[in-house]
């Protein structure tokens, strides 16, 4: 079962990538991981590690706080 935290952060990962106009393949290449893994993070199937989140933030040029905006509300809605 997907955890609401992973679903929320994954959704924000996908939003960020789409706004930048890059594919999962392009992002995977930039991060050194497979596009399939990007898809798992974005769908909330897998939890992104802190190290990879740090790299994602650097590649995408967004503040870490972007991924947690609305998280408290999302977790409350899931409870």
Using alpha carbons only, give the angle 40, 42, 46 rounded to the nearest 5 degrees: 40
Tell me which long-range contacts 14-23 makes (C-beta under 8 A, separation of at least 24). Answer: 14/42, 16/60, 16/62, 16/66, 16/67, 17/42, 17/60, 20/60
Over range 5-20, report the average pLDDT. Answer: 95
- Per-residue pLDDT of 17-35, as tens digits, reads 999 999 999 999 999 999 9
- Given a cut of 80, whether residue 79 has pLDDT beyond it is no
How confident is the model at residue 75, as a pLDDT? 79
Average confidence score pLDDT of the chain: 93
Give the domains, in start order, of the chain with CATH numbers. Answer: 4-78 (1.10.260.40)
Structure tokens that stand for 47 in this block = 């939890």
Average pLDDT over residues 52-56: 95
Name residue, tokens 């991060």. Answer: 31
Q: Does the model's pTM come out above 0.95?
A: no
Do residues 71 and 5 lie in contact, with contact meaning Cβ atoms separated by under 8 Å?
Answer: yes
């Amino acid at each position: 079962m997907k955890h609401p935290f992973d679903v929320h952060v994954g959704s924000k990962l996908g939003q960020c990538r789409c706004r930048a106009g890059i594919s999962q393949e392009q992002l995977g290449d930039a991060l050194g991981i497979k596009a399939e893994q990007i898809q798992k993070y974005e769908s909330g199937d897998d939890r992104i590690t802190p190290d990879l989140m740090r790299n994602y933030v650097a590649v995408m040029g967004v503040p870490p706080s972007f991924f947690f905006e609305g998280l408290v509300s999302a977790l409350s809605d899931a409870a």
